[in-house]
Structure formats: C-alpha cells, structure tokens
C-alpha cells in the first residue's frame, strides 16, 4: 500500500498514523466516502475493495477526532495498482471536498521550500495535472510510457536478466 498511500503525507488527509493500520486506512473528519467512491473510475479499484472505515488517530493529523475514510483490502495482487488507486482517490477527494482539502505546506523532511506533495510525487507536474482536472486514466497511460522508456534504457545496465 505504501507506494500509493504515502501521498497523503503531502495533504491534510490522515494516512492512518496514530492507528494500528497506517497506510491501510486513510481519511479525514470531512470525508464523504460515498461521494468519493462515486468519482472513482472502475479501473482504479481493480484488485481491491474499499471498505468504509471510521477511526480516531491517537496522534498526528486529526488526533483525537473521528475520521471517515476507507480501509483498503487487496483481493488480487496482480491487478492491484496502489499508486493509480491513490492518485485517483486524491483527485476524487479534491473534486468532492475542495473547500476542506489542503496540500501540506513546507517544510517536509529536510526540504523547506518545495511543496511536500511535489517531493513525494517527484515534481510539481502531477499536482498541477490533478489540480487542472486531468483524466487519471490518461495520466496513468503517460506513466506507463515513461516506465517502458526507462525500462528499455536501463536494460543495458542490468547484470542479470
């Protein structure tokens, strides 16, 4: 789950820290799970079930407050795409809760100027695409092309194929 769910560290959505299930659960007091679920493309939930879940973190974001969100249950490891799911969820949350959703401001880790989400995602391009309302399926097709290009480039350097 971590490759996708770590994105919540760059937002005001709890990634489940302060519970016994960090990164498996996530949410916020303002989250409407039905509205978010209805914004997701079916491809985003391939290989998993999103169970409505409420929790009260003991520390970190929303400590002591009741958060509404989801627990992710993986049912097919081959079909599950954690990063795609989390990006689709992020976009759906922004679309349904734009008035309550916030990006975390710097500092983050050892960086004091760049947005934390930009560090987590690698650069500001993804954040800007999400904010602009770009289609997550088209975005994932771009990642697939970039990954294929990278894998082709690196193949010459692999010792064991």
Per-residue pLDDT of the chain (161 residues; tens, 9 = 90+): 899 999 999 999 999 999 999 999 999 999 999 999 999 999 999 999 999 999 999 999 999 999 999 999 999 999 999 999 999 999 999 999 999 999 999 999 999 999 999 999 999 999 999 999 999 999 999 989 999 999 999 999 998 87
What the chain holds in terms of domains, given with CATH numbers, is 2-134 (3.90.1150.140)
What is the predicted pLDDT for the residue at 10? 97
Instruction: Tell me how far apart the alpha carbons of residues 150 and 93 are, in angstroms, rounded to a whole number.
Output: 31
Instruction: Tell me how far apart the alpha carbons of residues 62 and 55 are, in angstroms, rounded to a whole number.
Output: 10
What is the predicted pLDDT for the residue at 31? 98
What is the predicted pLDDT for the residue at 160? 85
Q: Are 62 and 29 in contact (CB under 8 A)?
A: yes
What is the predicted pLDDT for the residue at 87? 97
Q: Are 79 and 47 in contact (CB under 8 A)?
A: yes
What is the predicted pLDDT for the residue at 156? 92
- Give every CB contact of residue 102 below 8 A, 6+ residues apart in sequence: 11, 12
Is it true that the peptide bond before 107 is cis, omega within 30 degrees of 0? Answer: yes
What is the predicted pLDDT for the residue at 155? 93
- Give every CB contact of residue 32 below 8 A, 6+ residues apart in sequence: 68, 96, 97
What is the predicted pLDDT for the residue at 158? 93
Residue 53: strand pairing partners: 69
CA of residue 42 relative to chain centroid, distance: 16
pTM of the model: 0.93
What is the predicted pLDDT for the residue at 126? 93
What is the predicted pLDDT for the residue at 52? 98
Q: Is 49 helix (H, G, I), strand (E, B) or coil?
A: strand
């Amino acid at each position: 789950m971590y490759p996708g769910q770590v994105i919540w560290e760059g937002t005001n959505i709890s990634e489940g820290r302060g519970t016994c299930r960090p990164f498996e659960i996530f949410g916020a007091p303002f989250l409407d799970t039905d509205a978010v679920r209805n914004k997701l493309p079916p491809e985003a939930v391939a290989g998993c079930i999103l169970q409505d879940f409420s929790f009260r973190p003991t520390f970190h974001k929303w400590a002591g407050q009741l958060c509404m969100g989801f627990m992710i249950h993986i049912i097919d490891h081959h079909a599950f795409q954690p990063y795609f799911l989390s990006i689709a969820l992020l976009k759906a949350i922004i679309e349904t809760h734009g008035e309550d959703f916030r990006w975390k401001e710097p500092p983050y880790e050892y960086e004091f100027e760049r947005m934390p989400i930009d560090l987590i995602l690698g650069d500001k391009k993804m954040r800007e695409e999400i904010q602009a309302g770009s289609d997550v399926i088209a975005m994932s097709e771009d990642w697939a092309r970039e990954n294929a290009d990278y894998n082709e480039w690196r193949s010459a350097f692999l010792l064991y194929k």
